[in-house]
Every structure is written in structure tokens, then in C-alpha cells.
Amino acid sequence: MEDEKVQNVTTRLESGLSRRAFVKRGLAIGQAVFIGGVLVGNFAGCTTAQKKEEEAKAGGKKSIKFAHITDTHVTFSGKNGTALKEESFNIFRDVIDQVNNMPDIDFLLFGGDNINNTDPGAKDFNEFMDIMSGVKVPYFAQFGNREVSPLPPGIALSKKQYAEKMKGHGLDMGRYSWSVSPVPGLRILGLDTTIEGHDNGEIPAEELNWIKDQIIKYPNDVIITLSHHLLLPTWGNRDIPKWKKKYLLKNYLEVNAVLDAAPQIKACLMGHHHVSKVQTVNGLHYIASPATVQYPHAFRTITINDNEARLEFHQVRAQGIIELGQHKLLMSKNAEEYAGGSAGDILAYCHGGKGDNDVVLRLR
């Protein structure tokens, strides 16, 4: 009975949200939301502009706002599961439409698994970039495990091919960890944590030395790191060896010791595990951001103002996607594992609470 009910919900949601149908409906939804969005956006923009003007008059520093978008897994192949692959580019289109309507956004950061890399050649990459073509602010990308593990190998993009195509957005040929300052005084260190052909991650000694050099080189910048893999477990005291191996950086303790000792490093942005979680150790904020392709189908914006960072949580605007994502996550074979024995808790774990999503963090 329960199965039948679940099946019906799946069928209804999936049939109502086929890719083609969503594109058509998406326009209508997007437009409706867009109209609302303009009202909200204009209101927010007005207040933001006034605030910035007042700050400028008072000699204050302009706030900096950027988005952390991760695990978009844009793809034309694969079925809807925990990750809504069949909706991946529709979700991504909505996310980019949302940031395009933020009048005060300065730049975008992509945390990896931007494409699923399971389509022949550059098909999914080209779709990703087509959606990005309307973006008017700078954006920077790091690798996820998907971009370095093409499936099938030799047909989808290799790590090198991906880097070549994403060149100029942080990544460069032969240099996969990068350092950019999109706004004076703020520096982003994009850390390549990937291991070619594998899902887990590490930062080798040579790259760790590069991080140390950056710390010495930029003592006065506010520094934020961007990496795909987790630098800290998000599952509390539970001992889950499988997760530790798959999601957590192999040498996270060694890396964290280096980052922790540099007071100008304020926060570490992470993805890969598809959960929203903020943890603070010695004043350093470890910020795991949710996936757009999986429930809660969300991304963050972060606004830095003096010694504070305001985190805001933005979900895809199509309620049908969120309902389908919730349903698929609850049905997941990993649900109990994720939630520590109570499958229903998986939604809360992936979604995060107020302290993970809408919160002001003090910068050390």
C-alpha cells in the first residue's frame, strides 16, 4: 500500500516534470517568479544600494556578496534518483536566473561536480556553459570528482580537457589549485582536492606547500578556500568509515592545521556530500554547502561586511522539484545511513538548520 502510494507520487511528479515539460512550464514558473522576483529584487536592491551608499558616505567599506553553487551535476544522461539528474539542467537554469536577478552579487564560485561528465564529449559541459552565457559577473570553478572521473573514460571529458575548457575561471593548464582576488582585499584559494579516476580526495604535499606560500604572500587579505571534498566530517561523532573514505579529505587533519594557523583564512567552502552544515573550530568556519541537484536543491550567498559574513540559503523555485527531491531522498537506500538509523531525519540532515543556512558568522 505504502509502495503504491509512493509509486503514484513518483509517477505524478516525474510525469509532471519531464525535461521538455519543465522547460515549457519553467518559462511560465520562471516568469511568474520573475515578476515576484523583480518586486522583491528591486526592494532588496534598493535597500542594499541605500545601505551601501550610506556606508560609502560614512567612509565605510562596501560589502561583498558572492554565491557558492556546488554539485549541480548538469547532465543529459541518467535517471532521477537521490540526485535529480533528469532535472539537473532545469534546476541549474533556475539557479543562474536567481543569481542574475541579484543586483548586488559580485561573483560566483562553483564548488565542483558542476557537470556529471557522463555524456559523450562535451555535451553536458556545453549545456552548462550555455546556461552560464547570461551571467554578467566573474565566476570561478574548482574540480569535483565527476570532472576528473569521466564515465565512460575516454568518451567524456578528462581532467585536462575540462581544465582547458574552463580556463580563465580560476583553473589554468598545469595549475589546478588557484588564487584569485575578485575584489580587492578578498582572496579565494581554489584547492584541487581531487584524485583522477577516484571519488575521494586529498591535497598532496606539493599543493600544501603552495597553500603555505599563499599564506605568506597575502598576510593582509581576507582569505576563503574553495574545495570540493569535506575538510571536516559533517556527521558528528558517528563513525562511518565508508563516508570518511568517500567524502572526507584523506589528509584533512594535516591540511586543517595549516589553515587554522593562518588567521587571515576565515572560512572554507566545501561540497561533495550534498549537505548544508556550518562548523566553527578556533574561529575558522567550515561551510559545507548543499547540492542543487539533490534535496534541498539549494545554493548559498555569502555577504561579507567588515568582520561578519551573512549566509543566505536559496532553493530552486519550482516546488514540484523540491517535493520530488524530498521523495527520492526518503526512498534512497542511503537514507538510514545518512540519518543514523532514522530515515526521516535524512531530510533535516541534508537541508541543515537555521544555524547552517541563514546565519551571520563572525570572522576571526
Under rule CB under 5 A, which residues in 255-274 are in contact with Fe ion?
Answer: 272
Under rule CB under 5 A, which residues in 201-230 are in contact with Fe ion?
Answer: none
Cβ 112 to Fe ion shortest distance, Å = 6
* Dist CA 220 CA 215 (whole Å): 9
Residue nearest to Fe ion (CB): 272
Residue number, 116 or 214, with CB nearest to Fe ion = 116
315: closest CA among 286, 332, 330, 294? 294
Cβ 65 to Fe ion shortest distance, Å = 26
Yes or no: say if 292 and 249 are a contact pair by the CB < 8 Å rule.
no
Cβ 73 to Fe ion shortest distance, Å = 8
Under rule CB under 5 A, which residues in 102-131 are in contact with Fe ion?
Answer: 113
The size of the interface with Fe ion (CB under 5 A), counted in residues, is: 4
**Single-letter amino acid, residue 100:** N
Q: Is 297 in the site for Fe ion (CB under 5 A)?
A: no
Residue number, 145 or 315, with CB nearest to Fe ion = 145
Residue number, 255 or 288, with CB nearest to Fe ion = 288
Cβ 228 to Fe ion shortest distance, Å = 6
Under rule CB under 5 A, which residues in 126-145 are in contact with Fe ion?
Answer: 144-145
Cβ 144 to Fe ion shortest distance, Å = 4
C-alpha grid cell, residue 343: 530515515
Cβ 290 to Fe ion shortest distance, Å = 13
Residue number, 82 or 145, with CB nearest to Fe ion = 145
Residue number, 272 or 285, with CB nearest to Fe ion = 272
Cβ 321 to Fe ion shortest distance, Å = 20
* Dist CA 69 CA 191 (whole Å): 15
Residue number, 142 or 303, with CB nearest to Fe ion = 142
Paired sense of beta strands 186-191 and 178-183, if any: antiparallel
Residue number, 65 or 277, with CB nearest to Fe ion = 277
Yes or no: say if 112 and 70 are a contact pair by the CB < 8 Å rule.
yes
Cβ 147 to Fe ion shortest distance, Å = 9
Residue number, 196 or 358, with CB nearest to Fe ion = 196
- What separation in angstroms does the CA of 309 have from each of 48, 64, 283, 306, 363? 15, 9, 13, 8, 7
Residue number, 80 or 193, with CB nearest to Fe ion = 193
Cβ 198 to Fe ion shortest distance, Å = 11
Under rule CB under 5 A, which residues in 272-291 are in contact with Fe ion?
Answer: 272
Residue number, 22 or 252, with CB nearest to Fe ion = 252
Cβ 272 to Fe ion shortest distance, Å = 4
- What separation in angstroms does the CA of 139 have from each of 5, 98, 134, 199? 43, 15, 12, 24
Which parts of this chain interact with Fe ion (CB under 5 A)?
Answer: 113, 144-145, 272
